[in-house]
Amino acid sequence: MKKSTERVYVITGPAGVGKTTVANYLCRHFGLHRVVTHTTRPPRPGEQNGVDYYFETPATMKKRSLLEKVDYDHHQYGSSREGLAAGWQERHNNVIVLDTVGAATYRQKLGEQAVVIYLTVSMLDALAKRIQARGDRKRDIKSRLTARENQRDSALPDELRQSAFVVVNDYWPKTKRRLNRLMASFGERAKNL
């Protein structure tokens, strides 16, 4: 059914670390399929349903067949096997943004098919500035950064220590070089841009 080369690159880390930026880069530069996840949180300015997330209500979220589901900052997030299958059916590897619990679930359920990339920064106080720059409201920024889940995601969990690839995202050109080397090590070829 599944080829052993089918992969999903799982991008994880604390809020504001650049997970979406990295996922978008991998899609553009390596032709990966972006798995769109589901959430009950309201859209941020400029976000589109079916592109950034599938924006759900708690009732519609219960109807989804999810591979993993978590509560984060008073909202539900989840992803489905169908989302992964969509990329693999088109012969593309996938990329998905998850919290560390979701990343650990993917690694547990999918084994080596799930390549976990844990993003971090040298100075955690830089994250508030990044979140503010993306347009979040001040009260949402405070809530996001002080949320128990974000505190948890600010450190690599024990169950991922032996398998996750840690990338420090302080300086974008350096981050891109590290990502390019990592992707090449898995046989991913850059698209002609």
Give yes or no for a contact between 95 and 186, defined as CB atoms under 8 angstroms apart. no
What helix, strand, coil percent values describe the chain, rounded to 5?
40, 20, 35
The residue among 123 and 4 whose pLDDT is bigger is 123
Q: Could you give the CA distance from residue 143 to residue 59 in angstroms, rounded to a whole number?
A: 24
Structure tokens at 38: 């589901």
Number of continuous H segments (helices) and E segments (strands) in the chain: 8, 9
So what's the pLDDT on residue 163? 96
pLDDT tens-digit series, residues 114-128 = 999 999 988 766 665
So what's the pLDDT on residue 127? 64
Give yes or no for a contact between 41 and 15, defined as CB atoms under 8 angstroms apart. no
Does residue 179 carry a pLDDT above 90? yes
pLDDT tens-digit series, residues 158-167 = 999 999 999 9
Does residue 145 carry a pLDDT above 70? no
Q: Could you give the CA distance from residue 107 to residue 85 in angstroms, rounded to a whole number?
A: 16
Does residue 66 carry a pLDDT above 50? yes
So what's the pLDDT on residue 1? 35
Stretch 44-54: mean pLDDT: 90
